[in-house]
Structure 1
Amino acid sequence: MNLLQKTSIALILSAISLSAAAHGPKVNYTHQGVTAIDMKNTNKVRWVTVEQIRDSLKNTPPITVSFDVDDTVLVSSQCFYYGRNTFSPNSYEYLKNQAFWNYVADGCDRSSIPKESAAALIKMHQERGDQVVFITGRTGHINNDPTRLDVLGTILERTFDVKNMRPVNYTQDTPVAPYLYDKTYYIVKNKSQIHYGDSNDDVLAAREAGIRAIRVIRTPVSTNRPLPINGGYGEEVLIDSSY
Structure 2
Amino acid sequence: MNHTFRTLTLVLACVASLSANADPKTPGTHQGYSTIDMTTAGIPKDVNMISVADIKHELAGKPPFAVGFDIDDTTLFSSPVFYRGQQMFSPGGYSYLTNQKFWDKANCGWDKFSMPKQIAQKLIKMHQERGDNIYFITGRTGSACHFTTDYLQKTFQIKKMNDVIFAGSSRTEYTKTQYIKAHDIKIYYGDADGDIISARDAGAEGIRVMRAANSSYKPIPKNGIYGERVLKDSQY
Aligned length: 215
Alignment correspondent of 2:35: 36
Greater helix proportion: 2
1:171 to 158, 167, 170: 167
- Equivalent residue letter for 1:171: A
Distance 1:62 1:88 in 2: 44
Give the drift of 1:25. 4.9
Using the size of structure 1 for normalisation, the TM-score is 0.84
Q: Hey, what does 1:103 align to over in structure 2?
A: 105
Identity %: 45
What letter matches 2:222 in structure 1? I
CA contact (8 A) 1:25 1:180 kept: no
Superposition RMSD on alpha carbons, in Å?
A: 1.9
Match of 1:59 among 58, 61, 64: 61
Alpha-carbon offset, residue 215 of structure 1: 0.2
Matched with 2:5 is none
Give the whole-Å Cα distance in 2 for the aligned partners of 1:201 and 1:61. 28
Cα pair 1:71 1:198 within 8 Å, conserved: yes
Query: Where does residue 161 of structure 1 map in the other structure?
Result: 157
Secondary structure of 2:180 counterpart: helix
Distance 2:229 2:78 in 1: 24
1:200 to 166, 185, 193: 193
Deviations 1:12-49 (A, max 9, x none): xxxx9xx8x97x75222211221111114621100000
> Which segment is superposed worse, 157-166 or 90-99?
90-99
C-alpha distance in 2 between matches for 1:65 and 1:167: 14
Alignment of 1:22-171 (within 5 A): 25-39=24-38, 40=41, 42-141=44-143, 143-144=144-145, 150-171=146-167
Given that residues 33 and 42 in structure 1 are in contact (C-alpha distance below 8 angstroms), is that contact kept between their aligned partners in structure 2? Answer: no
CA distance in 1, matches of 2:105, 2:173: 29
Correspondence 1:219 to 2:212: yes
What SS does the corresponding residue of 1:132 show, helix, strand or coil?
strand
Amino acid at match of 2:149: G
TM-score calculated relative to the size of structure 2: 0.86
Distance of 1:184 and 1:25 partners within structure 2:
17
1:90 to partner: Cα distance: 3.8
Alpha-carbon separation, structure 2, partners of 1:67 and 1:84 = 25
Deviation by residue 1:163-213 (Cα, 9 ceiling, x = unmatched)? 2101000011148xxx93011011112211000000000001001111111
Tell me which moved more, 166-175 or 78-87: 166-175
Alpha-carbon distance between aligned partners in 2 of 1:34 and 1:189, rounded to the nearest angstrom? 32
Partner amino acid, structure 2, of 1:61? P
Q: Which secondary structure state, in structure 2, belongs to the residue aligned with residue 42 of structure 1?
A: coil
* 189 and 174 in structure 1: CA distance in 2 versus 1, 3 angstrom threshold: farther
Residues 87-115 of structure 1: per-residue CA shift (max 9 Å, x gap): 11243211111110111122111111101
Unaligned runs of 5+ in 1: 1-15, 145-149
- Contact kept, 8 Å, 1:64 with 1:192, in 2: the verdict is yes
Structure 2 alignment gaps of length 5 or more: 1-12
- Distance in 2 (CA, whole Å) between partners of 1:174 and 1:230 is 22
Match for residue 180 of structure 2 among 187, 193, 198 = 187
